[in-house]
Structure 1
Amino acid sequence: MTENKEQHNTDVLVVGAGDSGMMAAAAAREAGVQVTVIEKEGTIGLLRLSNAAVNSNAQKRAGVTINKAELVEYLASFAQHNVDQKLLNLWADHSAETVNWLEDNILKPNGAYMRSEPDAMVAGDIYKAFPTENDPTIDGKSYISYGDWFVQWAKDHKIDMRYHTELIKLIKDGDTVTGAIVKNNESGEEYQISATNGVILCTGGYSANKDLLKKWNPEALKKNVYNDSPRNNGGGIIAALEVGALRDQEPAECIFDRGLVPAGTKTEDMYYQTETYDNWLWIGSYPFLKVNLRGNRFANESVPYQFITNAASKEPGYLYAMIWDADYADRLEQFHMLGCAKFGFPGYMKDKQSFIDDVDQYVKKGLVVKADTIEELAEKLHLPVENLKKTVERQNQNYIDHVDRDFGKEYFRMSPIKSKPYYGCILGGRILGTLDGLRVNEKMEVLDEDYEPINHLYTAGNDSGAFFWGSYPDRVPGLCSSHAQTFGRLAGKNAAKN
């Protein structure tokens, strides 16, 4: 490492080029100030494809209406009110503006638009959802990625994008953050960036940092066998804590129940980091029979993605098995999944054959096993044979009787196991990101331990806190990316005003 006396001056410095960072940079630049974005990798982060909103233009076109007060109270109650409800209201009030900006400025100039997904439904107290999802598309039949278009917009608007550049520490003069020391990871040179209006931290949480997970959220290391956000090392949060910031004291994370592992895997031996979603089983989120490593059913499978991993964390070994039969593909549509797990667009699997192909690739890899008897299936999955046989018999009788006597799953989401071959796999959690972050006010200013704002320091996305607690509410589809983009936009606007 060498030190360089170079100094760069800007108005707003954005740290991290993902959902929140790109939106923050765009909003600040539109307000007329100079913007520099640093990103430690060589590309921007993945810009998420589904974005939640309340009363977006796409929703108006589709005739979708959402009761804002009901939605906000649902989110607060989901978190047992361990959140700042003012921030929930702030998101609901500004989410449509953000989605509309994305559609008008990034999508439409490239022939794309936002499609609203109206079919979230309430099918009882267990399955309550809101039609918040907006998806970028050109043909109304498939997603379109817009990251390259956003990069071009930044270039056209003269935003200074500095890749392979990492935050080392923030610079604070008295009670005001005035810039940062950064490092070019290709040359090893460190230099200073002075930011007249402020610094916005958008580095995406700490799910890639095992030391921070052990310290702040050790249970996540047991629940999860994959991390799908390997960029997110907690650098922004650590830098803010060093200048006196206040952090959420209880963890929150977004976990998907799609992590395929070989039978016999131990969670303490595996935390695989991937940006390419390796060994991701799409039907893992579907409400097929799920049993613990002793072959016993342990929870209602008709719950948000993360809940089944929460339930499994109270069982021996944390992992669990999913069991299904040869008729599974004919049952998928009836389950009425939401968000990215949905059958057909706007899910990622466009039709029944797509799901079949996805399962078959993991059969070939040996991560999904097939058998002509339950006994053989149990042996391949390292499960107690008699326990699994009894569990399957119970499952089939519940289906015949149209009632789940054990955990109360809705009948339309139940399925028997009767047609050969039988399928099975071992699953664990995939953490998409940590959601506990720095405490902020309604201007996205980072707060200190006295709950006072640190001048000229802002944050958004998964670096910002007090919005989530515990598990992610996936029945508000697109909420995580919308939280990042909406608060990024607000942070950029507010920083530009200084």
Structure 2
Amino acid sequence: MNKYPNVDGYKVDEVTATKLISTDVLVVGAGNAGMMAAAAAQEKGAKVILIEKEKTINLMRVGIASVGSNAQKRAGTVINKQELVESLASFAQHNVDERLLKTWVDNSAESVNWLEDKILKPNGAHFKSEPDAMMTNKAYQGFPTENDPTIDDESFVSYGNWFVKYQKEHKIDIRYQTSLVKLLKEKDTVTGAIVKDLGSDEFYEIRASKGVIIATGGYSANKDLLQKWNALSLKKNVYNDSPRSNGAGITAALNVGAKRDEEPAESIFDRGLVPIGTKTEDLYYQTDSYDNWLWIGSYPFLKVNLRGERFANESIPYQFIVNAASKEPGYLYAMVWDDNYAEYLEKMHMLGCARYGFPGYMTDKAAFVKDTESYVEKGLVVKADTVEELAEQLKLPINALKQAITNNNKSVISHNDQEFGKEAYRLTPVKKAPYYGCILGGRILCTFDGLRVNTKMEVLDENHQPIRHLYAGGNDSGGFFWGSYNDRVPGLASSHAQTFGRLAGKNAAEN
């Protein structure tokens, strides 16, 4: 009997396969980890089937971290590996497997170089190293890890279709609308899986002689699993930006004896605009198009709780403000700013996907203003001629908000935030009407607490022994993250997925 029911509601013990298909390696999930795993296994000479329950591959991420990629060498970007590993481990309070961190550091460049050589260059693109990681707050060390796919060095280029073309040219059998029902195990070895063709409603078996690689992307779309494994996330987050990630891979592996991380890890963006009066328990909106995503939400403008009181340093990593708000009444928070906000954006010196000039999106002040004003039109951002009117529209206590703004403006004048220690260059006044405000919550990008793996990406059982022929990559593989995501290492999540997916594919094929 399966400990975890199939996430799609099938009674897996009653499912009967109508046919048998054989391959060397079966990859479950066509995202950043799965696409890399399939390509790597094929390069090693394995016959590969890649299944994906949706009609398309998942979004291939653009900002990808590495240490020592060819793009970084061209740019003269140098990163101390040991320093980075220890910084990541320290960020997680060492609730991670440091061997996995080192494995990523040692293999990340190969993964990025492969992507550049095999996918980007044949289509006229390349990687550009993003060397800027300047931080003045010693508590959060920054590293220039990001590689951006581009043609003109000014904008991002999407490469998902190129990757699909590569897979087809190399005879990788991609089967869309095919979902994992259950893994099959004989004695101590995973032998394949029962899958379902969602178009024909047919169940069939895929026998994989060398291994099955789980790469389904975590469980952020599964409210039942969130309630079981990370209940607080349902209060921190009002949006889920990964509606594909239903936990099917993780639960299937648990049903054959796998062990998973015992504490949650997640990546949260602080850009979730909600209507004024929203209660977190009433909203968990699933979107793959980033609906109601306010770009300046990650900027360190004045933020207050629902009582109108400032409660944290707004200059902390973007997930941390959501963590801090989860200790406040209502879990949500307000951000307020004035009519000069566009003049402050560049000097705030944000990193990664929050940075000013983000290629293809927030390239200049006009783009930020256009984005913000679009939400004024939708009523999710409000404008007012007075602070009193702003407080009334946001349903915040007037006196508390006025005091928070007064304190903020005093800090700007003195160049010293005596309340929470925000860097002087990120202090901005709220004094020129019209005043702006909104209510924000978290939007979970993904969960990271996954199946325990070793450095070969073999999934471990309850005794910390490898389950033969079962591998995991990407957000289904655990031991790498804990708690919150480190945005001071730009591109880490996508690189973790692609690098570990590539390693899983290589190791499975070499069985």
TM-score, normalised via structure 1 length: 0.99
Q: Distance in 1 between matches of 2:483 and 2:316?
A: 15
1:465-489 Cα distance to aligned partner (Å, 9 max, x none): 0000000001100000000000000
Residue pair 1:340, 1:348 contacting (<8 A) in 2 also? no
Q: Does 1:432 align with 2:449?
A: no
2:114 maps to: 101
In structure 2, the residue corresponding to 1:5 is in which secondary structure? coil
Selected match of 2:373 from 338, 344, 360: 360
1:57-77 Cα distance to aligned partner (Å, 9 max, x none): 000010100000000000000
Q: Does 1:373 align with 2:386?
A: yes
Selected match of 1:308 from 308, 312, 321: 321
1:166-212 Cα distance to aligned partner (Å, 9 max, x none): 00000001100000000011111100000000000000000000000
1:221-270 Cα distance to aligned partner (Å, 9 max, x none): 00000000000000000000000000000000000000000110000000
1:479 maps to: 492
In structure 2, the residue corresponding to 1:491 is in which secondary structure? helix
- Count of matched residue pairs: 498
1:17 maps to: 30
1:198-213 matches, cutoff 5 A: 198-213=211-226
Q: Distance in 2 between matches of 1:488 and 1:221?
A: 28
Q: Distance in 1 between matches of 2:19 and 2:288?
A: 33
2:263 maps to: 250
1:262 maps to: 275
Selected match of 1:298 from 293, 311, 326: 311
Residue pair 1:341, 1:348 contacting (<8 A) in 2 also? no
1:55 maps to: 68
Residue pair 1:342, 1:348 contacting (<8 A) in 2 also? no
Q: Distance in 1 between matches of 2:54 and 2:16?
A: 20
Residue pair 2:219, 2:226 contacting (<8 A) in 1 also? yes
Selected match of 2:229 from 178, 198, 216: 216
2:395 maps to: 382
Residue pair 1:445, 1:456 contacting (<8 A) in 2 also? yes
Q: Distance in 2 between matches of 1:200 and 1:228?
A: 24
Q: Does 1:116 align with 2:112?
A: no
1:283-362 matches, cutoff 5 A: 283-346=296-359, 348-362=361-375
- Using the TM superposition, give the Cα deviation of residue 3 of structure 1 relative to its aligned residue in structure 2, in angstroms: 4.9
Q: Does 1:497 align with 2:491?
A: no
2:206 maps to: 193
Q: List runs of 5+ in structure 2 lacking aligned partners.
A: 1-9
Q: Distance in 1 between matches of 2:56 and 2:284?
A: 24
- Using the TM superposition, give the Cα deviation of residue 4 of structure 1 relative to its aligned residue in structure 2, in angstroms: 4.8
Q: Distance in 1 between matches of 2:368 and 2:411?
A: 26
1:303-340 Cα distance to aligned partner (Å, 9 max, x none): 10100000000000000000000000010000001111
Q: Distance in 2 between matches of 1:123 and 1:293?
A: 30
1:27-176 matches, cutoff 5 A: 27-176=40-189
- Using the TM superposition, give the Cα deviation of residue 348 of structure 1 relative to its aligned residue in structure 2, in angstroms: 3.0
1:457 maps to: 470
Q: Which moved more, 1:123-132 or 1:372-381?
A: 123-132
1:345-404 Cα distance to aligned partner (Å, 9 max, x none): 347311110000000100000000000000000011010011101110110011111100
Q: Distance in 2 between matches of 1:62 and 1:76?
A: 27
Q: List runs of 5+ in structure 1 lacking aligned partners.
A: none
Q: Distance in 2 between matches of 1:379 and 1:10?
A: 64
Residue pair 1:130, 1:476 contacting (<8 A) in 2 also? yes
